[in-house]
């Protein structure tokens, strides 16, 4: 009996670990997964996942919980979602990781920051925080923030932010291993909350994958 | 960085420690008078015993007695301090990759005229090896290997060649056209400094030897900034022909050191930017090195200075509230090997890296003496290092929580998310509110990656928000560290399997394991890897305890979620006055 309990306990924990750590390739992710909600949380009326619908070759359509947003996702990229954290932070987000990365992941994030989220007080705050470094600078030897541009995305008003930064991989130790990051954001104001589409890659990989980002961004539809 | 002790050797270390303690312990117990104790300790220190050295420096009456002969006492103290310092250095985690750093650390300690040499540990560095065998018998194998590489033992550097190595050496080559012949016997008579200098020369001809110089490796990896700076100074016309001759043929590290000494107290006409770049990159001049007494003093002075620094920021006030409730903040200054700081749970002390502080002193032209006397310089160092205090205070709070809760808590990604979030919050707030703090970091970042990294953490936290920052810590900064789930899974799996295995053993076999096995308190300090690697040597009660702690992670998740929420609230309240930038 004891043996059975021990084995089950270890197994169940490993299963939880696997779910928490993970994701699936966008092509493999079931349309209705994940459906479970963290204990004490109200389940989403409509859980997120891959959905039937038109998508260009090599892409699948993804819809977030409660249809907060939907967009095309590249089928051969790794789709990650941390539903528990999404609900904790009131930020509903998918992360798409490219097949090829360097020292940091090449990734696209599509997120809906609900009005209840307290990470940023609104889209202006997000733009403010992301258009300069913590010292309020837009340019120094290792960082360059482009001026914020007004643009249109999916027929909506949007703001485009671009930056390049040298980032160290071990900020708490003396190892100076670093990578030159290039990033691009689209920030979309909404009636409730706001949306962010974010592409990050090592500078060397940015050109190769930026077209994928633009396709994802171009296919974006928001509920609000 | 939260330190995790290697407990596989705890028992042996304890035994060895007790054995080595004997002279000191005997001095305390059997020799009642200070004179008797001093006599015993003097002999023990002369034989290189670090435990006796520690006992001597802590024995007030003995010190008072010794100081009646001031010169003799000073000599004895310097030997005792040198022994403790050497032991402290060698107790840090070293491996072959960090052997060059260890070499630099040993180079300034084991040399002609150094106190250790008077104790028979030098000048030939091979003398360190028998000392380690005698006084640090349980040092990890990695450390022993690193030491051999650090002292540039002939066999490690040149392999099985026992006769000669031909080499071309700087001016000798230029003047005579002939190289020098290097013999094993000569090599073994040289100090680490001399060996490193020769290796520096040889690297120019044999790139394989660049592994003996971090500077050469960095240069090889494309970090040419420092090299360019040295070249700029040499080409500036500001140096005298004698100074240029001294630089000729020297390895980059030596050139940097020499340039730093040329700049010191002179008016060499090169830009402040160049001077700062070179001063930040060079090793410490003698007057910039903080000795162990100065480090102790600086640590206690920083307690007050850092408290002042933290006050008035949301993250800082949170840290101070923690110490108001959980005992005083204790800061020490010591070498931290490859880290800027660490938290020592055994002494509940935040240790700030003395090398990082000394690097700041080089850049600013401060000396060990001036920092002790000048409040403004001390306040600058407190500002410079305060992000690390905030970061380590979070690790201390985690340690206190785990001990109060009585649960097993290894070092996990969640710890780093919490600690780095608090650091990022603090630094971003200081950069906004404290102009002097901002100036210190921004003026140092081009010469010190530490300064840039502290700004980077702040920027990352500010731009990402708490949610994405957590993901960044997991993916970019600490991908090699287990998450709570992964750690629990690893430990629980190993522990559960072992408990099942033990059910199949006889009572006698189980008793044997419990008699000699690692206790609960020892197991609680082990990493998940250590537990799963030595699960067969852990007492059954400890295994059951680990299993009970990890079978449900609610208590852990509740703690980390609460900490994350609290930090988020602090961030939200600190970003209320943001200004929207102009939009094109």
- Model pLDDT for residues A64-97, shown as the tens digit of each residue: 999 999 999 999 998 989 888 899 999 999 999 8
Backbone angles phi, psi at B484, to 5 degrees: -55, -45
Say which residue, B222 or A122, is predicted with more confidence: A122
Q: Is A93 helix (H, G, I), strand (E, B) or coil?
A: strand
The interface residues of chain B toward chain A in range 485-544, judged by CB-CB distance below 8 A, are 485-486, 488-489, 492-493, 496-497, 499-500, 503
- Three-state DSSP state, B194: helix
Q: Give the start-to-end residue ranges of the domains of chain B.
A: 7-150, 154-218, 224-283, 292-411+419-466, 484-555
* B14: Cβ contacts below 8 Å, ≥ 6 apart: none
CA distance to partner chain B, nearest, from residue A20 (Å): 8
pLDDT for A3-58, tens place per residue? 443 433 433 333 333 333 344 555 544 333 333 333 344 556 678 889 887 889 99
Which secondary structure element, helix H or strand E, spans residue A144, and what is its range?
strand A143-145
pLDDT above 70 covers what percent of chain A? 79
Nearest-neighbour CA in chain A from B41: distance (Å): 39
- Measured between alpha carbons, how far is B210 from B240 in angstroms, rounded to an integer? 30
CB contact under 8 A, A148 and B485: no
Q: Do B218 and A150 lie within an 8 Å CB cutoff?
A: no
Q: How many CA atoms lie within 13 A of B342 on its CB side?
A: 21
Phi, psi of B42 (to 5 degrees): -60, -45
The chain-wide mean pLDDT, for chain A, equals 82
Q: Which residues of chain B are within 8 Å of residue A142 when distances are taken between CB atoms?
A: 445, 452
Residue pair B226/B159 in contact by the 8 Å Cβ criterion: no
Q: Which residues of B touch A141 (CB under 8 A)?
A: 446
Rounded to 10 degrees, what is the CA torsion of B310, B313, B375, B438? Answer: 120
Whether residue B485 and residue A175 make contact (CB cut-off 8 A), yes or no, is no
Measured distance CA(B111)–CA(B125) in Å, rounded: 8
Q: What is the pLDDT, as a whole number, of residue A36?
A: 36
Name residues whose C-beta falls within 8 Å of residue B49's C-beta, 6 or more positions apart in sequence: B20, B23, B24, B83, B135
Per-residue pLDDT at B25: 53
Q: Rounded to whole angstroms, how far apart are CA atoms B335 and A48?
A: 51
Peptide bond into A134 cis (omega under 30): no
Q: Which helix (H) or strand (E) holds A62?
A: strand A59-63
Q: With a CB-CB cutoff of 8 Å, which residues 397-416 of chain B face chain A?
A: 416
So what's the pLDDT on residue A34?
35
Which of A169, A203, A154, A156 has the alpha carbon at shortest distance from B473?
Answer: A169
B483-527 pLDDT tens trace: 898 888 888 888 888 998 999 999 999 999 999 999 999 999 999
Which of B 190-229 lie inside 8 A of A, CB atoms? Answer: 218, 223
Q: Which domains does chain A have, with CATH numbers?
A: 26-222 (3.40.1000.10)
State the average pLDDT over residues A177-184: 92
Those residues of chain B that have pLDDT short of 50 are: 1-21, 169-177, 222, 576-584
> Which of A19, A21, A134 to probe by mutation at the B interface, max B CB count within 10 Å?
A134
For residue B20, the distance in angstroms to the closest alpha carbon of chain A comes to 34
CA B433-B384-B316 angle, 5° bins: 50
- Write b or e for each residue in B57-92: b if 16 or more Cβ atoms lie within 10 A of its Cβ, otherwise e: bebeebbebbeeeeeebeebbebbbbbbbbbebbeb
Q: Min CA distance, B336 vs chain A (Å)? A: 10
Q: Shortest CB distance from B467 goes to which of A9, A119, A172?
A: A119
Q: Does B432 touch chain A (CB under 8 A)?
A: yes
CA distance B537 to B531: 9
Nearest to B340 among A132, A148, A172 (CB): A172
In percent, the amount of chain A with pLDDT more than 90 equals 61
B554 close to A (CB below 8 A): no
Mean pLDDT, range A142-146, rounded to an integer = 95
CA dihedral in degrees (B86, B88, B93, B94; nearest 10)? -10
Asked if A133 lies within 8 A of B455 by C-beta distance, the reply is yes
Residue closest to B371 by CA, chosen among B384, B383, B357, B385: B357
Mean pLDDT score, A102-117: 90
> Shortest Cα distance from A54 to chain B (angstroms)?
30
What's the rounded Cα separation, in Å, for the pair B168 and B510? 65
A157–chain B Cβ distance below 8 A for any pair? no
- Kindly give the residue spans of alpha helices, DSSP state H, lying in chain A: 2-21, 83-89, 123-130, 206-218
Q: Tokens 């290097």 sit at which residue?
A: B182
Q: Kindly state the helix (H) or strand (E) to which residue B433 belongs, with its residue range.
A: helix B413-433
User: In this structure, are strands B331-334 and B349-353 parallel, antiparallel, or unpaired?
Assistant: parallel
pLDDT for res B85:
78
Across A166-192, average pLDDT: 92
Question: CA B252, CA A4: separation in Å to the nearest integer?
Answer: 64
């Amino acid at each position: 009996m004891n043996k059975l309990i021990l084995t089950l306990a270890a197994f169940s924990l490993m299963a939880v670990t696997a779910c928490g750590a993970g994701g699936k390739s966008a092509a493999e992710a079931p349309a209705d997964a994940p459906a479970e909600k963290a204990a004490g949380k109200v389940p989403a009326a409509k859980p997120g996942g891959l959905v039937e619908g038109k998508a260009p070759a090599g892409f699948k359509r993804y819809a977030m919980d409660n249809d907060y947003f939907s967009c095309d996702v590249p089928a051969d990229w790794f789709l990650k979602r941390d539903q528990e954290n999404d609900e904790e932070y009131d930020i509903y987000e998918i992360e798409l990781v490219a097949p090829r990365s360097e020292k940091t992941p090449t990734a696209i994030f599509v997120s809906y920051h609900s009005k209840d989220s307290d990470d940023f007080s609104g889209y202006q705050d997000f733009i403010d925080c992301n258009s300069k470094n913590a010292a309020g600078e837009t340019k120094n030897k290792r960082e360059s923030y482009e001026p914020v541009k007004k643009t249109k995305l999916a027929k909506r008003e949007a703001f485009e932010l671009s930056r390049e930064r040298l980032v160290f991989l071990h900020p708490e130790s003396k190892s100076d291993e670093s990578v030159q990051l290039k990033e691009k954001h689209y920030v979309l104001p909404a009636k409730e909350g706001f949306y962010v589409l974010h592409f990050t890659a090592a500078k060397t990989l940015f050109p190769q994958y930026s077209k994928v980002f633009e396709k994802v961004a171009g296919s974006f539809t928001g509920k609000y | 960085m939260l330190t995790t002790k290697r407990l596989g050797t705890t028992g042996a270390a304890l035994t060895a420690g007790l054995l080595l303690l004997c002279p000191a312990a005997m001095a305390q117990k059997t020799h009642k008078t200070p004179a008797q104790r001093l006599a015993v300790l003097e002999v023990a220190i002369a034989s290189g015993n670090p435990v006796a050295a520690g006992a001597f420096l802590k024995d007030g009456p003995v010190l008072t007695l010794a100081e009646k002969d001031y010169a003799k006492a000073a000599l004895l103290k310097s030997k005792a301090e040198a022994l403790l310092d050497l032991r402290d250095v060698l107790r840090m985690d070293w491996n072959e990759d960090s052997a060059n750093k260890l070499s630099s650390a040993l180079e300034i300690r084991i040399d002609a005229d150094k106190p250790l040499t008077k104790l028979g540990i030098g000048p030939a560095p091979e003398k360190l090896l028998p000392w380690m065998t005698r006084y640090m018998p349980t040092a990890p194998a990695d450390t022993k290997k690193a030491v051999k590489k650090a002292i540039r033992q002939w066999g490690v550097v040149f392999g099985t060649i026992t006769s000669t190595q031909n080499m071309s050496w700087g001016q000798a080559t230029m003047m005579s056209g002939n190289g020098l012949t290097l013999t094993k016997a000569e090599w073994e008579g040289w100090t680490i400094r001399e060996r490193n200098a020769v290796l520096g020369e040889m690297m120019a001809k044999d790139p394989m030897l660049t592994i003996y110089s971090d500077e050469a490796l960095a240069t090889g990896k494309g970090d040419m900034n420092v090299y360019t700076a040295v070249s700029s100074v040499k080409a500036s016309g500001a140096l005298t022909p004698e100074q240029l001759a001294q630089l000729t043929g020297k390895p980059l590290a030596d050139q940097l050191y020499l340039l730093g000494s040329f700049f010191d107290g002179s008016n060499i006409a090169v830009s402040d930017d160049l001077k700062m770049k070179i001063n930040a990159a060079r090793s410490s001049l003698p007057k910039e090195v903080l000795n162990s007494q100065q480090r102790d003093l600086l640590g206690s002075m920083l307690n007050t200075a850092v408290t002042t620094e933290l006050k008035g920021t949301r993250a800082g006030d949170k840290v101070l509230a923690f110490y108001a409730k959980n005992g005083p903040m204790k800061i020490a200054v010591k070498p931290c090997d490859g880290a800027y700081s660490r938290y020592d749970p055994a002494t509940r002390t935040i240790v700030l890296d003395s090398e990082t502080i000394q690097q700041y002193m080089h850049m600013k032209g401060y000396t060990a003496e001036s920092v002790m006397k000048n409040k403004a310089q001390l306040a600058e160092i407190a500002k410079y290092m305060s992000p690390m205090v905030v970061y380590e205070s979070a690790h201390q709070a985690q340690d206190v929580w785990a001990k109060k809760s009585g649960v097993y808590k290894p070092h996990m990604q969640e710890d780093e998310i919490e600690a780095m979030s608090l650091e990022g919050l603090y630094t971003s707030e200081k950069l906004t509110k404290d102009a002097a703090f901002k100036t210190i970091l921004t003026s140092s970042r081009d010469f010190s990656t530490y300064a840039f990294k502290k700004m980077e953490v702040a920027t990352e936290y500010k731009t990402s928000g708490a949610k994405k920052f957590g993901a960044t810590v997991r993916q970019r900064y600490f991908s090699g560290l287990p998450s709570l789930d992964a750690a629990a899974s690893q430990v629980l799996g190993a522990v559960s399997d072992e408990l099942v295995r033990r059910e199949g053993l006889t009572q006698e076999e189980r008793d044997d394991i419990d008699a000699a096995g690692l206790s609960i308190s020892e197991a609680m300090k082990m990493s998940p890897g250590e537990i799963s690697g030595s699960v067969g040597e852990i007492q059954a009660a400890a295994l059951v305890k680990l299993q009970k702690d990890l079978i449900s992670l609610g208590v852990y998740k509740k703690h980390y979620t609460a900490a994350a929420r609290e930090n988020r609230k602090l961030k939200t309240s600190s970003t209320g006055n943001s200004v929207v930038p102009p939009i094109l």
